Structure 1
């Protein structure tokens, strides 16, 4: 096993198109890192540069103590699990697992030992003589992971390995991957566009946007303190509510609502306010109040999503299905659960607990 270090990594294609810009990332030995972001954000390109399948335009990549910019993929001591499984259709499962080891001139007894151990771990012993076409999607994915495991690499690289599976199987397979990685303790770099998958698997998330890192942190850090409106909008289901507000002294105007959150507020002027759907609760609870007009309801069984409007601005509240809702809804808002972002840059504005020493210029509730 080994750490992975990426220093000032960039990728520029012929013609000047920049896919990845100045990425700095250190992955500890045994850590599970998930690269997450929308299509085209550069996450797969970054993974492929670590694997050696894409050249590095600038910067350096190291696996363990060795710089690998000019090292061939086969010599980097990594194993990659692809979206499409990449199994040889004419070979049995056993021979698919053995193929890479045979190319490395591994002794036959050692090959068999590793295959039997991986097959038992992945519960595919009974499929070793079958061809891939006789397997289900989940079984093929287990074979693809087994092929990576038998190589005993320094690092696993996963390129959206679950995207071809149905929703139910994805849930079970991501649990298996997490359990397997913890058991083996192998450094892992995993790419997905599915934020739920990312939150479930990662020790740390790396959120990418347009080829740059927006935020690095544990899943809970990224969820509870998004570094930008992009992260707030991408991580979480439903996404964080982002509405336009106006700061004036110690007061915050959100549409026709005027709130007094206390503590330190950003400087006077426009601001983007973030509120998680689960942090909007019925008025019986203590806190500030936020009035809205009910637009429609999504019933999800254990939860209902109330889609509301503050003027023309949309917000969503995640509520218990037993809560009755009228056309006009009043929510309680914990001031500590408000997030503030620069209205121009979208970057997070952190608050201190000390109230500002400045006057309020007389905003009143409408």
Structure 2
């Protein structure tokens, strides 16, 4: 186990294309960090630089007390789990698990013990004499994880390891990964584009956009206090509602509608107002709160997601009601669940600490 320090790291490819810009992350010993963002945001490139599979253009990476910029991948004391499993098809599961240890001249008795421990931990003991083609996708991913575990590395690096699995198996496997990481206590960096996967696995999230860090924080802090409209729209499903608004005194104007507040939300006149679909409520009386013009309904089983317009702008609301909603309704929003962002930069505008405290208290209740 070890700390990982990523200090002012950048990646510039031939021709000047910059994939990663001046990224710094201090990862604690035993911490589970998730790099999350859309395709092309630089998360896999950053992981590969930590692994030694991509050259670092600027900055440095330290694993423990050692600078590893010029250290070969095999000598960095890390183990990587890939999206495509990367198993040797001609070898049995047992041989796949043992292969890296044999290359390191590990004594046979120790290899056998480590393979047996990993197989028991991952519940793949019945498959040790099978070849990968005789395994399901989930079993192959367990073998890939087992190959990393037997190394007993300082850190695990996961590069979208569940993206080839079906939805049900992804849920099962991410739970197994989290339990294993807690049990082993190994420092881990996990890359995914799936924000739900990121939220459920991470001790801390690192949200990336266009090669830069948008926000670092615990899943709850990032969800309840997003640093920008990008984070607000990317983290959370369904996404946060973001509408253009004008602050006027102790309230805001959305299109031709007025939302009264107990105190001014921000000193900026023009802003983007954000609120989660679950933080709004609908009334059958359009005069109660903002006027919500229903467009269509998504049935989600235990809940319904209603899509409509407020002040001519698209808004979604989550409800458990079974009423046959139609036409115009009233929309109310809990005041301390509102978020204000700059209309120019998209960055979060200053709000009182009481807002963040209210979010955290409710989340932990």
> When the two structures are superposed, what TM-score results if normalisation uses the length of structure 2?
0.94
Corresponding position of 2:170: 170
Contact 2:341 2:349 in 1 (8 A): yes
Q: Is residue 184 from structure 1 mapped to residue 184 from structure 2 by the alignment?
A: yes
Distance 1:134 1:265 in 2: 60
Contact 1:284 1:332 in 2 (8 A): no
Gap change, CA 1:43 and 1:32, over 3 Å in 2: same
Corresponding position of 2:54: 54
Q: Shift in Å at residue 250 of structure 1? A: 2.0
Contact 1:299 1:321 in 2 (8 A): no
Segments of structure 1 that go 5 or more residues without pairing to the other structure are 355-366
Corresponding position of 2:91: 91
> When the two structures are superposed, what TM-score results if normalisation uses the length of structure 1?
0.94
Distance 1:316 1:301 in 2: 16
Gap change, CA 1:337 and 1:86, over 3 Å in 2: same
- Please identify runs of 4+ aligned residues in structure 1 that moved more than 3 A: none
SS at match of 1:97: helix
Segments of structure 2 that go 5 or more residues without pairing to the other structure are 355-365
Matched residues, number: 352
Write out aligned runs for 1:1-12 (5 A): 1-12=1-12
Write out aligned runs for 1:39-188 (5 A): 39-188=39-188
Quote the RMSD (CA, aligned, Å): 1.5
1:111-163 per-residue CA deviation (whole Å, 9 max, x = no partner) reads: 00000000000000010000000000000000000000000000000000000
Distance 2:29 2:153 in 1: 12
1:153-202 per-residue CA deviation (whole Å, 9 max, x = no partner) reads: 00000000000001110010000000010000000000000000000100
Contact 1:80 1:158 in 2 (8 A): yes
Corresponding position of 2:278: 278
Contact 1:263 1:352 in 2 (8 A): no
1:3-27 per-residue CA deviation (whole Å, 9 max, x = no partner) reads: 1000000000010000000001000
Q: Which stretch of the first structure deviates more once superposed, 208-217 or 316-325?
A: 316-325
SS at match of 1:150: helix
Q: Shift in Å at residue 47 of structure 1? A: 0.1
Corresponding position of 1:238: 238
Gap change, CA 1:15 and 1:268, over 3 Å in 2: closer
Distance 2:252 2:353 in 1: 16
1:49-94 per-residue CA deviation (whole Å, 9 max, x = no partner) reads: 0000001000010000001000000000000000000000000000
Distance 2:31 2:326 in 1: 48
Corresponding position of 2:357: none
Q: Shift in Å at residue 261 of structure 1? A: 1.7
Contact 2:85 2:141 in 1 (8 A): yes
Distance 1:218 1:268 in 2: 28
Corresponding position of 2:208: 208
1:206-244 per-residue CA deviation (whole Å, 9 max, x = no partner) reads: 000000000001111010011000000100111000000
Corresponding position of 1:351: 351
